[in-house]
Amino acid sequence: MLNIGRLSALLIIITAVLAAGCTQPAETAPDRETMYQVSTFSALSQGVYEGIIPVVTLLQNGDTGLGTFDALDGEMVCLEGKVYQVKGDGTVVETGDNVTVPFAAVTFFDADSTRQLEGLQGLSNLTTLIDAELPSDATMYALKVHGNFSHVKTRSVPAQEKPYPALVDAVKNQSVFERENVSGTIVGVRFPAYMDGVNVAGYHCHFISDDRQFGGHLLDCTLENGTLMIDGTDRFVMVLPRGMQGVDSAKADSSVVSAIEQ
Amino acid sequence: MLNIGRLSALLIIITAVLAAGCTQPAETAPDRETMYQVSTFSALSQGVYEGIIPVVTLLQNGDTGLGTFDALDGEMVCLEGKVYQVKGDGTVVETGDNVTVPFAAVTFFDADSTRQLEGLQGLSNLTTLIDAELPSDATMYALKVHGNFSHVKTRSVPAQEKPYPALVDAVKNQSVFERENVSGTIVGVRFPAYMDGVNVAGYHCHFISDDRQFGGHLLDCTLENGTLMIDGTDRFVMVLPRGMQGVDSAKADSSVVSAIEQ
């Protein structure tokens, strides 16, 4: 016969069994070796500047990377799980969760290799050095260089108005900023040649100072000393604007890439 | 005071509450609007034929698509959640879960549009017709054409031996198969121009007969009547061979693409 003692025991057992079955998380953990990209460089270069992914979603898919904001409103630096906006006038703010993103690439940064650097003049010398550190040039990398810089040159762009101009025209209104003796972090991504069009083949680097008061798309720098950290990723996730209607499938030609790097 | 009646009621309530909290699945459901790709066409064209993903994992990420197998051992047709292998001698088998895949693209097929077709001679006329149906040529599509064909011409390739030759050399040993009056399904994918290198820009179609006895990489066909189904996808997931070491980052040049389509 069932009495209160037995019923209580049964209650405890059923509760324990059901509770044990509930320990799984609501969402599976993100793959930390994934490069997560919003839209394509091809679409951005055509003027597809409408934000499609909120910052809060971006940060669920990575803690380090770069991009831009709805209406091409400045340069994005994503570092240590925070998203910073370097506006067209050079001011830097940490963005809210609901600000939207038309183009970005982020990953959860776990350094595969670390190297101390000293006395490197020019961004091209830095990227040449990094090239020699890469195990392969056929996969995707995020990189950080944290250190002391005797000179950093960045740019940012003001928010654009509809109808949106092509990127090569938008950057004609860029502002260039320079800073001497600043400590901060270069946040970069490197994509292989066969991904040209999906993103920019080669390096794309942004910068943010340690005091989070200065940054932007990195045009040039002179490093006094610092630490290079490289994170290779073997998995790629890309989210496109719905249907890509009205977007041309052609890739941006090389003149666009060189124009935005000056 | 607690009696058996109240304790029983409490038991039922606790059980119901806990069970309700357990309704979430063990894994989040896959995004059905994702094109899931194993490796890159750039790597395949260089002879990167080692399987990296088992068929069972492929099927967790899509029910429709195409690809090949470890050692380039034949042509893959994925249809209705099953994976078929068209071997180099033309025989067709359903593969086991543990067979591995060096290159494939699959999605969960949900037709966005359906159209009846009649009397189409030549694969190029078919793809021209499909082009006119697409809402945009800047996103990724899976497509199926199920119908009656008066003529179908396919090819397959035999398994390669290490050191693996480049794809352009491997297909020199292809076998071509032709069949008259066959009912079956064309399974295809279409990638935008800016994804050239990641996959093949444009159409890539395989075929399998309704009796699952004939198929392969589709070289040509004449359709008597059938149904075209198109599924656009806005999300892309790509899994690369670990580290891509020893793989060249260059994309396959257009001569490779044209060589394998003949």
Residue A8's pLDDT is: 57
Measured distance CA(A186)–CA(A65) in Å, rounded: 10
| Topology at the third CATH level for domain B34-257 | 60s Ribosomal Protein L30; Chain: A; (3.30.1330)
Structure-token pair, residue B174: 């292809």
Residue A229's pLDDT is: 98
3-state secondary structure of A179: strand
Residue A9's pLDDT is: 55
Contact: A243, B26; criterion CB under 8 Å:
no
- A to B CB pairs, distance under 8 Å: 144
pLDDT in tens, A124-162: 999 999 999 999 999 999 999 999 999 999 999 999 999
As for the ipTM of the complex, it is 0.88
| A51, A99 Cβ separation under 8 angstroms | yes
Measured distance CA(B179)–CA(B6) in Å, rounded: 74
A196 chain-B contacts, CB cut-off 8 A: 197, 251
Express as a percent the part of chain A with pLDDT over 70. Answer: 86
Residue A234's pLDDT is: 96
- The per-residue pLDDT string of chain B (262 residues; one tens digit each, 9 = 90 and over) reads 445 556 555 555 444 444 444 443 344 677 899 999 999 999 999 999 999 999 999 999 999 999 999 999 999 999 999 999 999 999 999 999 999 999 999 999 999 999 999 999 999 999 999 999 999 999 999 999 999 999 999 999 999 999 999 999 999 999 999 999 999 999 999 999 999 999 999 999 999 999 999 999 999 999 999 999 999 999 999 999 998 988 998 877 666 777 766 6
Measured distance CA(B59)–CA(B50) in Å, rounded: 19
Q: How long a stretch of residues is chain A? A: 262
Measured distance CA(A216)–CA(A185) in Å, rounded: 11
- For the segment A213-229, the average pLDDT, to the nearest whole number, is 98
3-state secondary structure of A64: strand
Residue A138's pLDDT is: 96
Q: Quick count: other Cβ atoms within 10 Å of Cβ B35?
A: 28
pLDDT in tens, B107-117: 999 999 999 99
Q: Which of residues 186-245 of A touch B (CB under 8 A)?
A: 192-198, 232, 234-245
Asked if residue A184 has pLDDT above 70, the reply is: yes
Residue A5's pLDDT is: 58
How far A133 CA sits from the closest chain B CA (Å)?
13
Contact: A247, B194; criterion CB under 8 Å:
no
Measured distance CA(B238)–CA(B61) in Å, rounded: 11
* From A193, A194, A247, residue closest to B138, measured CB to CB: A247
Residue B26's pLDDT is: 42
Measured distance CA(B254)–CA(A22) in Å, rounded: 53
Q: Quick count: other Cβ atoms within 10 Å of Cβ A18?
A: 17
pLDDT in tens, A14-36: 444 444 444 434 446 778 999 99
* A25 reaches B (C-beta below 8 A): no
Residue A165's pLDDT is: 96
Antiparallel, parallel or unpaired: β A235-239 and A34-38: parallel
* A118 reaches B (C-beta below 8 A): no
pLDDT in tens, B71-81: 999 999 999 99
Residue A17's pLDDT is: 43
A8 chain-B contacts, CB cut-off 8 A: 7
| A213, A84 Cβ separation under 8 angstroms | no
